[in-house]
Amino acid sequence: MTDSVGQNVLKELLGLLSLEKIEEDIFRGQSQDLGYGNVFGGQVLGQALSAASRTVPDHLCAHSLHGYFLRAGDAACPIVYMVERTRDGHSFTTRRVKAVQKGRTIFSMSASFHKFEEGFHHQDPMPDVKGPDGVESDYNMIVRYARNIPEDIVKKLLYPNPIELRVVNPVNPFHPVPMPPDKYVWFRATGPLPDDAATHRYMLAYASDFHLVPTALYPHAKTFWSPDMQVASLDHAIWFHRDFRMDDWLLHVIHSPNAAMGRGLNHGSIYTRDGKLVASVAQEGLIRRVEKDKV
């Protein structure tokens, strides 16, 4: 992907996440089709956080969000985000966001914002993982496996991605073998971004949804592409610990501690390349086995 193409798709994503204000505390966002059949969960996360951020003072930054995916979104239709000003405090401010499409709520989220203050510091160390240089990108992996994917879906998957993703320990998506429930993903925006912290936070919210749920399938030799699996995000939480830049490499360290009753839990720790823990993520996803005759 050339630099100019990368800049164009990144500009498109920034526009997608910036939203249109249509009334006080009500915003509208367009949708994109990434080839998953429905709206990508990261898009709704990023847009919802963007909407909430538009209603708080600039000196407050998001420090946590908790969201539930209630219905599948239609990638062909825009989404309306309605923000409730739950509390405006001196140190902390909270917002609730409802995402509505075709008159129905498809996603709900609570987000908390915090002013900067000094405090104690400690963190888990970043694991010793191969750096992004020389690791195959998701784009190149799709090219290698394109013959196994329907042509119409391949065209969408090969559309330039504004977020570059490189999995250190990938699984063959069409011939998986059992692996430990751990995944390491380097990611970054494909070009420079504005300096405001809110942009980097809602961009990270967008990118954090990639690769989470499939990690719970690693031990079971199944993938998102397995024809007998129904895979979807159910809920998502993020805690922002330190400032970061989405246009520098970040490492998402993902671990799935549990799978049961058709659901898989995934924990994520996101580090800068020099080892600072900047965010933590948790997500439970649907990993339901579908009967062969119903696939």
Among residues 209, 226, 235, 269, the one annotated as catalytic is 209
209 is catalytic: yes
Among residues 64, 208, 256, 283, the one annotated as catalytic is 283
Helix or strand (DSSP H, E) at 15: helix 3-18
Quick one: pLDDT at residue 295? 39
Quick one: pLDDT at residue 291? 75
- Burial label for 2, CB within 10 Å (0-12, 13-18, 19+), is exposed
pLDDT single digits (tens) 41-50: 999 999 999 9
Spatial separation of the C-alpha atoms in residues 94 and 196, rounded to whole Å: 20
283 is catalytic: yes
Find where tokens 């993703």 sit.
Answer: 165
Q: Which of 57, 55, 51, 61 is nearest to 113 (CA)?
A: 61
pLDDT single digits (tens) 80-135: 999 999 999 999 999 999 999 999 999 999 999 999 999 999 999 999 999 999 99
Question: What does pLDDT average to in each consecutive run of 10 residues of the chain (295 residues)?
Answer: 66 94 97 83 97 96 98 95 97 98 97 95 97 92 80 73 94 91 97 94 97 96 90 97 97 98 98 98 96 54
Spatial separation of the C-alpha atoms in residues 215 and 180, rounded to whole Å: 9
133 is catalytic: no
Among residues 47, 53, 101, 233, the one annotated as catalytic is 233
**Number of Cβ atoms within 10 Å of the Cβ of 152:** 8
Spatial separation of the C-alpha atoms in residues 248 and 271, rounded to whole Å: 11
